[in-house]
Amino acid sequence: MTFKQVFGSFLLVSLLWSCKEKPVPEETLTLTDDKFEYLVDQFADLKVLRYQIPGFEELTLKEKKLVYYLTQAGLAGRDIIWDQNYRHNLEIRAALENIYRTYSGDKSTKDWAAFEVYLKRFWFSNGIHHHYSNDKLRPGFSKEYLNYLLAETDTELKGKAFDVIFNDKDTKKVNKKKGVDNIASSAVNFYGSDITDADVDNFYKTAYKGPEGRPVEAGLNSSLVKENGQLVEKVWKSGGMYGSAIDEIIKWLEKAKSVAENDQQANALGLLIEYYKTGSLDTWDAYCIEWATSTQGNIDWINGFIEVYNDPKGYRGSYESIIEINDFDMSRKMAVLSENAQWFEDNSTLMEEHKKDNVVGVSYKTVNVAGEAGDASPSTPIGVNLPNNNWIRQQHGSKSVSLGNIIDAYNNAGGSGRLKEFAHDEEEIRLEEKYGKQADKLHTALHEVVGHASGQINPGVGQPKETLKNYSSTMEEGRADLIGLYFSMDPKLQELGLVDNWEELGKAAYDGYIRNGLMSQLVRIELGDDIEEDHMVNRQWVSAWAFEKGKPNNVIEKVTRDGKTYFNINDYDALRELFGQLLRETQRIKSEGDFKAAQELVEGYGVKVDQALHAEVLDRNSQFKSAPYSGFVNPVLVPTENEEGEIIAVDIVQPTSFEEQMLSYSESFNFLNSKN
């Protein structure tokens, strides 16, 4: 699971906002360590940042080569996410980029400015649908203007690929709403256009599910289509669908294997290569076990078809890659959570039958990202816990990482205006400013290393994607959030030496979560829309449930002052008890596969928005000009070779602009056809 932009409002303020209103001109960029310019660009509702790679210079040449090869392997599959997101994305991208490169006409017009913004939004989202809301991006220019640009640059874009930019077709990439055919109403390109919910359900009733007690992640690496009236999977592998890009991934993984830090690392890479060659999900499981138990070395990676958030049915994995360098100091500090994972399990509010007797192999590190691709770029997670397969996690453990330099980049690009606007009082502001960043890091760690590793499914109950269906992802993220919340205000944290004042840190964590879940995250959606993104949904249902259940004792008070709404926590201990009750229930729902209860919780508390409050929040937020969403360009790793072609050095170069990196990627990592 990824902890992707999953912040309380304390982090929504301190990590997502920048006080700068305009990107810094390229000629004034200063990229020294003491004056590193984090902001690259800002447009629409998006902000593009840079990140540094602390520790890279301390690596040996062999380790630097490993990082370089793994980064190239990740980028080699970049086009896959574009095609997965929507069937016409690659065709549209080629046309828009050719226009951008070759148009020599008037670039001072409003239409050209609107074209540039649309292209940048398109790049940021890896396609025509917003990376967070899943709504189709709307261009600020006309059909006629695009036709003019196509003609002026001798570029071809016609038929459905042209029409969809302007029409009302395929308006939602992922639609998980109740009461609709989720597959048929989703534009994501995991399924044939004639596939329905019923087709998917029926197919996986009889599909291969793996050995008894060790189920594979059925459907993880394939598209489901109809051929001659029969449902078939088109497997993503060498020689199969996406084969040309996967062959490039394999080429770089083989180079990486040759410079692995140890035998287990090399074995894991070998299994990943074999998986890409065969498409076998049994091999994928073998790789996940080897990878999860490979904990030695300074370098690690995530590569594959992994997270299933983009599949309305929760089967198919989006392509992603993250290359990681160990942050030695922070990892030592946070390893204490891993070492005490069993204590947290034993002292949680779960029913005894839902607790694990032995939390196996949980590891937690703070790492520094060296490169990202696919679904992890430009919009990136801040924490990751993998593998996702429940039986592997239970028997072999998992890896939890916090992406330290990504979090630091958010922090260093931040501002405090929104905190002062939406916080109830000076005490709330004081707690946030003193403990907010630390509270967020601990909540992320607890969410990943304890939350996702916690609990067990009852014998005979299927995987959550089968039992909880379209609610499985938001239920899992909410369950992990609740673990983090429950223990964020526990004296055990101070006993373990992780905090100097557990009570005040816990209050800051609770203030931020409630403020965000009930109010400030609403700046991310359009007035009148429901909440649909899984993490936003889970933050609202957790917060709204606690608010409602605490009403008899006024645990959380809704305050109106000078025409503005605030939420004030009157009893933090009572709120912790409520979080514990909800944690117990969400684990029961997962353990028993109780679809009806999941539906009632999510639909009853997580989806619908108080329209009057939403309008107020948007109005109050309008004074702030910084964009609500952030993403990143990647540092470029540049190898130097000797006359024999051997790499003798690897240097870091920061890209000067978002456009530069996107165009460079399209030229260097363009391995798929426009239709696959």
Dist CA 665 CA 80 (whole Å): 13
| Rounded average pLDDT per 10-residue block, the chain, 676 residues | 43 26 26 70 96 94 98 98 98 98 98 98 98 96 98 98 98 94 97 96 94 95 96 98 98 98 98 98 98 95 97 96 88 82 96 91 82 97 91 90 88 75 96 91 87 92 92 95 97 95 98 96 91 94 98 97 97 98 98 97 96 95 85 98 96 97 98 94
pTM of the predicted model as reported, rounded to 2 decimal places: 0.77
In sequence order, the 6+-apart residues with CB closer than 8 A to the CB of 178 are 599, 603
Residue-level pLDDT at 524: 85
With respect to residue 233, please indicate whether it lies within any of the assigned structural domains: no
List residues bridging with 399 in a β-sheet: 363, 386
CA-based nearest residue to 254, from 243, 276, 233, 269: 269
Dist CA 184 CA 175 (whole Å): 9
CA-based nearest residue to 148, from 110, 94, 97, 112: 112
Same structural domain for residues 149 and 13?
no
Same structural domain for residues 348 and 447?
yes
Residue-level pLDDT at 587: 98
Residue-level pLDDT at 327: 86
Residue-level pLDDT at 20: 22
Opening angle at CA 308, ends 305 and 309, nearest 5? 135
With respect to residue 51, please indicate whether it lies within any of the assigned structural domains: no
Dist CA 130 CA 124 (whole Å): 8
Angle between helix axes 404-412 and 9-16 (nearest 10 degrees) is 80
With respect to residue 34, please indicate whether it lies within any of the assigned structural domains: yes
- Sheet of strand 319-326: strand arrangement: 2-3, 383-386, 399-403, 363-374, 319-326, 299-305
Same structural domain for residues 505 and 431?
yes
Dist CA 230 CA 244 (whole Å): 26
With respect to residue 526, please indicate whether it lies within any of the assigned structural domains: yes
Same structural domain for residues 36 and 68?
no
Domain housing 160: 64-165+638-668
CA-based nearest residue to 567, from 534, 598, 522: 522
Same structural domain for residues 657 and 624?
no
Same structural domain for residues 531 and 659?
no
Reduced to 3 states (helix: H, G, I; strand: E, B; else coil), residue 324 is strand
Angle between helix axes 472-488 and 502-518 (nearest 10 degrees) is 150
Same structural domain for residues 398 and 434?
yes
Please name the residue that has the structure tokens 């509270």.
Answer: 439
Neighbour tally for 512: CB within 10 Å: 30
Give residue 130's Cα distance to chain centre: 13
With respect to residue 223, please indicate whether it lies within any of the assigned structural domains: no
> DSSP letters along 539-579, please?
HHHHHHHHHHHTGGGTSEEEEEETTEEEEEES-HHHHHHHH
With respect to residue 550, please indicate whether it lies within any of the assigned structural domains: yes
Same structural domain for residues 19 and 115?
no
Same structural domain for residues 471 and 335?
yes
With respect to residue 513, please indicate whether it lies within any of the assigned structural domains: yes
Cβ atoms of residues 470 and 315 within 8 Å: no
For the record, the structure tokens of 222 come out as 């394939």
Cβ atoms of residues 389 and 441 within 8 Å: no
Q: Can you give the three-state secondary structure of 586-641, one letter per residue?
A: HHHHHHHCCHHHHHHHHHHHCCCCCHHHHHHHHHHHCCCCCCCEEEECCCEEEEEE
Same structural domain for residues 479 and 593?
yes
Q: What is the DSSP letter of 316?
A: P
Cβ atoms of residues 274 and 247 within 8 Å: no
Domain count across the chain: 2
Dist CA 634 CA 249 (whole Å): 18
Same structural domain for residues 158 and 31?
no
Same structural domain for residues 507 and 412?
yes
Residue-level pLDDT at 364: 74
Dist CA 339 CA 419 (whole Å): 35
With respect to residue 398, please indicate whether it lies within any of the assigned structural domains: yes
Dist CA 2 CA 377 (whole Å): 13
